[in-house]
Copies of this chain bind each other. A is one copy, B any other.
């Protein structure tokens, strides 16, 4: 099957709220995280971005794991299939050296503003056309956007779905997220559930440009009988909710990591069950290598998912790549990116 992995990379000012996200060592560097993730996925190391995304406690970006899978699948000719990766600009705030497809997305505003994504309708429409026109048999959709679980919670609230979201922090700051979302609903003058069946309005009021893009790509693909695999955690589940609220009932699967599945605060199983979305969980077996700093950080509950990590692991499995091979590549990529002195 001709499979295209699509990373949608973007930003929301919601990430600037203190304590919301661990997707960067500090708020200023966090703005570069999606641009750097796109470069790591594309080149195996940062190229133009001045930073390697790590959490404040040193957990590397899940882009390291996704890139490890790309290299593991691509470099062994015995496997059953290969896949190409591609980055869609879902509202990047900083330049990236990765090639990007444009859907005219802009950085999102703070979800506590009345309008979070002013061009949600146009972005959704452009992404839908691109998803419909793409020649692949299957699109694997992934995200990188710091603050994205909070905007996902906002969209779930506006749609009237279960407000279940995960976190890149070991302790999910759910109380803070709920407070931010409630402030956003107030500012947008939206009652919980008031935007059911109105996906682009839900994103406009309470979401982020990556959700508008992913949902558009998924709807366009499914309408033209292209398979869609949602590669991620509760943000991608929220994209699935947007697809359902757009009236599209085609089969959908969410492929996530064992770290998201084990996060009881996220409740991803109940969320996908509500949405009639199938769930695939892949465990990369990092416990076998708990001496490695990257794998130890994931085992502590950091990062958990992102940059399509769960979907990439599922593709590795499908291609017949052993998780031991993936782990070896994670070590390689980790060593490479942490050695990088990117050109500012």
Contacts and interface: CB of A to CB of B under 8 A. Distances in A.
B99 A99 contact: yes
Contacts of A98: 99, 101
A95 to B, nearest CB: 7
A133 B44 contact: no
A133 to B, nearest CB: 4
How many copies of this protein are present in the complex? 2
Interface in A32-57: 43-45, 47-48
A130 B97 CA distance: 7
Nearest to A99: B99
Interface residues of A, number: 24
A39 to B, nearest CB: 9
B130 A47 contact: yes
A87 interface: yes
A133 B86 contact: no
Chain A contact residues, majority secondary structure:
loop
A343 B77 CA distance: 34
Contacts of A343: 129, 132-133
A76 B342 CA distance: 34
A153 B99 CA distance: 30
A293 interface: no
A44 B101 contact: no
A100 interface: yes
Interface string A68-82: 000000000100000
Nearest to A44: B135
A99 B9 CA distance: 13
Contacts of A44: 135
Contacts of A48: 129-130, 133
A216 to B, nearest CB: 14
Nearest to A344: B129
Given A77-B77, A129-B343, A135 B47 contact: yes
Contacts of A45: 135
Contacts of A129: 48, 343
A100 B99 contact: yes
A102 interface: yes
Given A100-B100, A100-B101, 14 more contacts: A44-B135, A45-B135, A48-B130, A48-B133, A88-B99, A95-B102, A97-B130, A97-B133, A98-B99, A99-B99, A99-B100, A100-B102, A129-B343, A133-B342
The 3 closest A-B pairs by CB, nearest first: A99-B99, A133-B343, A77-B77
